[in-house]
C-alpha cells in the first residue's frame, strides 16, 4: 500500500471519528403522529409500524413511531376513535392494560396539564422507578392524552419511555415536546 493510500485511509478514519464524536446521543426532531396534526419530539429517527391492539372487547389499529437513544426506548402510539366516549373507553382500557403488564412494580400516577389536549379523557401520566433487569423490571414512563378532531372524533395517544435515558432531562423533553394543534 502506498504512503498516499495510507494517509488517505488515515484521514478517512480520523474524519469518521470526528463525525462520530459530534453525533449527539439525543438528536431531537419533530415527527408527525397520526393525521390530526399532532407533532411529537423524538430523540432519534423513528421506525414506524401499525398493529392491532386488544383494548377491552375490541381490537383497534394503532400506528406507532419509536426509536432507541441514550439507553432508552421512546415511542408514541396513536389510534383514531370515532367519538369522545370511545376515546375515553380506549384510554381507560389502554391504561389498565399497561398497569397489568407492569405487575407488582410500584407506580406513581398523576394527572397532567398538556396544552390543547382534550380535557376528557384527561391526560394522565404513569411512572415506575424500577430498573432491575434481573427482576425483569425496567423504568417506565407513560403519558396518555386525547385530541379532539374537527370531524367530531378524537385521536388517542400513548407516549412511552422504557429504560433509563443517559440524559436526566430526556423524559421531560419528550413528554413536553408534543405540539397539539
Q: List pLDDT tens digits, range 76-100.
A: 999 999 998 999 999 999 999 999 9
* Topology adopted by domain 25-176: Protein Transport Mog1p; Chain A (3.40.1000)
Q: Residue 81 corresponds to which cell in the numbers above?
A: 376513535
Given this model, what pLDDT does residue 24 score? 82
How far apart, in Å, are the Cα atoms of 41 and each of 26, 64, 111, 129, 170? 11, 14, 21, 23, 10
Q: Name the residue ranges covered by the structural domains of the chain.
A: 25-176
Residue (of 123, 126, 101) closest to 178 by Cα position: 123
How far apart, in Å, are the Cα atoms of 176 and each of 14, 22, 38, 118? 38, 25, 13, 16
Q: What is the largest CA-CA distance in the chain?
A: 73
Residue 3 has pLDDT above 80, yes or no: no
pTM for this entry: 0.82
Strand partners, 167: none
Helix (H, G, I), strand (E, B) or coil at 94: helix
Q: What pLDDT digit, counting tens, does each position of 124-166 carry?
A: 999 997 654 444 457 999 999 999 988 889 999 999 999 999 9
How many Cβ atoms sit within 10 Å of the Cβ of residue 178? 22
Amino acid at each position: 500500500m502506498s504512503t498516499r493510500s495510507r494517509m488517505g485511509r488515515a484521514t478517512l478514519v480520523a474524519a469518521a471519528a470526528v463525525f462520530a464524536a459530534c453525533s449527539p446521543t439525543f438528536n431531537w426532531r419533530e415527527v408527525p403522529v397520526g393525521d390530526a396534526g399532532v407533532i411529537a419530539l423524538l430523540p432519534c429517527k423513528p421506525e414506524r409500524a401499525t398493529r392491532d391492539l386488544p383494548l377491552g372487547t375490541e381490537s383497534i389499529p394503532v400506528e406507532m413511531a419509536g426509536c432507541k437513544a441514550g439507553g432508552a426506548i421512546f415511542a408514541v402510539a396513536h389510534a383514531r376513535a370515532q367519538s369522545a366516549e370511545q376515546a375515553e373507553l380506549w384510554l381507560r382500557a389502554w391504561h389498565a392494560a399497561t398497569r397489568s403488564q407492569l405487575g407488582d412494580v410500584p407506580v406513581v400516577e398523576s394527572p397532567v396539564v398538556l396544552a390543547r389536549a382534550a380535557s376528557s379523557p384527561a391526560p394522565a401520566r404513569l411512572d415506575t422507578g424500577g430498573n432491575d433487569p434481573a427482576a425483569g423490571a425496567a423504568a417506565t414512563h407513560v403519558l396518555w392524552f386525547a385530541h379532539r378532531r374537527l370531524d367530531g372524533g378524537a385521536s388517542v395517544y400513548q407516549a412511552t419511555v422504557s429504560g433509563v435515558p443517559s440524559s436526566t432531562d430526556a423524559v421531560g423533553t419528550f413528554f413536553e415536546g408534543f405540539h397539539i394543534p
